[in-house]
């Protein structure tokens, strides 16, 4: 039997994860999903109870699980802490500790939501982009880092660093996925101003030339990519990015689909469990009110079914259930409706 570890986290994290749990329980009861659900404290909740955002025991449990489903972490309560004591540091430590270097962030428009985007429906119709974001390197992790000095001489330092091996292993994931899609990859970088970006471009191109001649590779400067995403987003299929650009561009793409509350993600390494999380955060502005959209969390469960729990059939069913709920008019507030988080979860269960 497989183990799915739930890390609800902070803010709306527990609210949306609870709905994903209901879906998993329903699949266990009715569709032969053979999975044990476990749960652990994570993020700010763990700081309050255990003094650190990610305990060794929780990291060990994550590594031993077959898949990990995380809600969201962070919030104003913990924003004044030193970086290593913040909920977000726990998430970075979890990603690094699980070795999940490739973050898949699909952004696709559900037909029923074409009008929910702030862009014109004809611009986002048929949108189906897959971001492949490098997740355990780059400026998020590079050393040296820190704040030092006094007065006018205070310095904040972060290091944007990539090795060829780090670039190649995530590019390989993008090229392999491209073979199951339209065989097109756009790689976004800032090779015009950053050496690490130039290395990124050279290594991605070299890997393509050596091993993936059947995949069409284009390079795009990340700022132009941001513009093209709102000008003509359907020109993209797979977008390969470093850690920082992938964070920013995927939030931007989320809005093309109608809401940040719709976008799931899967973080994969070289074997081992995957880490599944909505791309949104803890949404302190709506936390505790039961109005958050649980679809990103439920769709993250679908990705876990596909990539870690070996039930692609159930992944398709869950995605279909979300689509059916939307087609039937179910909408949380971010989508212009009035449903609560639980009622939206109920609508997805009905679609199952």
83 is catalytic: no
Helix (H) or strand (E) holding 312: helix 312-327
Structure tokens at 282: 């803890």
Q: Which stretch binds ligand IPM (CB under 6 A): 86-94, 283-291, 332-340, 341-349?
A: 86-94
CB atoms within 10 A of CB 214: 10
Which of 50, 128, 237, 251 does the annotation list as catalytic?
251
In angstroms, the CA 245 to CA 223 distance is: 9
Shorter beta-carbon distance to Mn ion: residue 15 or 247: 247
Q: Which of 27, 65, 72, 199 binds ligand NAD (CB under 6 A)?
A: 72
In angstroms, the CA 61 to CA 222 distance is: 37
Q: Which stretch binds ligand IPM (CB under 6 A): 88-96, 120-128, 199-207, 283-291?
A: 88-96
Write down the least CB distance from residue 133 to ligand NAD, Å.
12
Q: Which of 8, 74, 97, 269 binds ligand NAD (CB under 6 A)?
A: 74
Residues 271-290 that bind ligand NAD (CB under 6 A): 277, 280-286
Which of 10, 66, 140, 307 does the annotation list as catalytic?
140
In angstroms, the CA 222 to CA 206 distance is: 20
Write down the least CB distance from residue 176 to ligand IPM, Å.
23
Which stretches of 73-118 are assigned E, i.e. beta strand?
102-108
SS3 330: coil
CA angle (95 as vertex; 283, 270 as ends), nearest 5: 140
With CA atoms as reference, report the closest residue to 281 among 77, 92, 11, 44.
Answer: 11
In angstroms, the CA 180 to CA 182 distance is: 7
Residues 6+ apart with CB under 8 A from 4: 24, 35, 36, 37, 38, 65, 66, 67, 68, 69, 304, 309
| Residue window 241-260: x/- pattern of binding to ligand IPM, with contact defined by CB under 6 A | ------x-------------
DSSP collapsed to 3 states, 233-270: HHHCCEEEECHHHHHHHHHHHHHHCCCHHHCCCEEECC
85 is catalytic: no
Shorter beta-carbon distance to Mn ion: residue 217 or 254: 254
327 is catalytic: no
Q: Does 4 bind ligand IPM (CB under 6 A)?
A: no
190 is catalytic: yes
CB atoms within 10 A of CB 248: 14
Q: Which of 10, 15, 242, 247 binds Mn ion (CB under 5 A)?
A: 247
Q: Does 118 bind ligand NAD (CB under 6 A)?
A: no
Write down the least CB distance from residue 96 to Mn ion, Å.
16
Q: Which of 15, 66, 88, 189 binds ligand IPM (CB under 6 A)?
A: 88
Residues 6+ apart with CB under 8 A from 339: 330, 331, 332, 333, 347
Helix (H) or strand (E) holding 305: helix 295-307
Write down the least CB distance from residue 12 to Mn ion, Å.
14
Q: Does 91 bind ligand IPM (CB under 6 A)?
A: yes
Residues 273-312 that bind ligand IPM (CB under 6 A): 279, 281
Q: Does 91 bind ligand NAD (CB under 6 A)?
A: yes
What are the φ and ψ backbone dihedral angles of 213, each rounded to 5 degrees? -60, -20
Q: Which stretch binds ligand NAD (CB under 6 A): 69-77, 100-108, 141-149, 221-229?
A: 69-77
State which residue has the least CB distance to ligand IPM. Answer: 88
Give the binding site for ligand IPM (CB under 6 A). Answer: 74, 88, 91-92, 247, 279, 281
Give the binding site for ligand NAD (CB under 6 A). Answer: 12, 16, 72-75, 88, 91, 260-261, 277, 280-286, 292-293, 296, 334
Which residues are the active-site residues? Answer: 140, 190, 223, 247, 251
């Amino acid at each position: 039997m497989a183990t799915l570890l739930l890390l609800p986290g902070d803010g709306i994290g527990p609210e949306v994860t609870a709905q994903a749990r209901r879906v998993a329980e329903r699949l266990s009861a009715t569709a032969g999903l053979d999975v044990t659900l476990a749960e652990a404290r994570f993020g700010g909740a763990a700081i309050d109870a255990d003094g650190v955002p990610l305990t060794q025991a929780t990291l060990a449990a994550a590594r031993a699980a077959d898949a990990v489903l995380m809600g969201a972490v962070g919030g104003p309560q913990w924003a004044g802490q030193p970086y290593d004591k913040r909920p977000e540091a726990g998430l970075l430590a979890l990603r690094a500790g699980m070795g999940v270097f490739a973050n898949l962030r699909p952004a696709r428009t559900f037909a029923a939501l074409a009008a929910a985007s702030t862009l014109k429906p004809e611009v986002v119709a048929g949108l189906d982009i897959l971001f492949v974001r490098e997740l355990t390197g780059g400026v998020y992790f590079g050393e040296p880092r820190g704040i030092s000095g006094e007065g006018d001489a205070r310095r904040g330092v972060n290091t944007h660093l990539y090795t060829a091996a780090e670039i190649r292993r995530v590019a390989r994931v993008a090229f392999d996925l491209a073979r199951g899609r339209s065989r097109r990859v756009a790689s976004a970088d800032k090779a015009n101003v950053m050496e690490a970006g130039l290395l990124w471009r050279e290594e991605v191109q070299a890997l393509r030339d050596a091993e993936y001649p059947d995949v069409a590779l284009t390079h795009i400067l990340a700022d132009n990519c941001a513009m093209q995403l709102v000008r003509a987003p359907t020109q993209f299929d797979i977008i390969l990015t470093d850690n920082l650009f992938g964070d920013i561009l995927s939030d931007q793409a989320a809005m093309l689909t109608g809401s940040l509350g719709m976008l799931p993600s899967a973080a994969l390494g070289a074997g081992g469990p995957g880490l599944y999380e909505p791309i949104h955060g803890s949404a302190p502005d709506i936390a505790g009110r039961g109005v958050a959209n649980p679809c990103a969390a439920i769709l993250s469960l679908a990705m876990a079914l596909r990539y870690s729990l070996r039930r692609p059939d159930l992944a398709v069913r869950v995605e279909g259930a979300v689509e059916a709920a939307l087609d039937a008019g179910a909408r949380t507030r971010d989508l212009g409706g009035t449903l609560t988080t639980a009622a939206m979860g109920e609508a997805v269960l009905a679609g199952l």
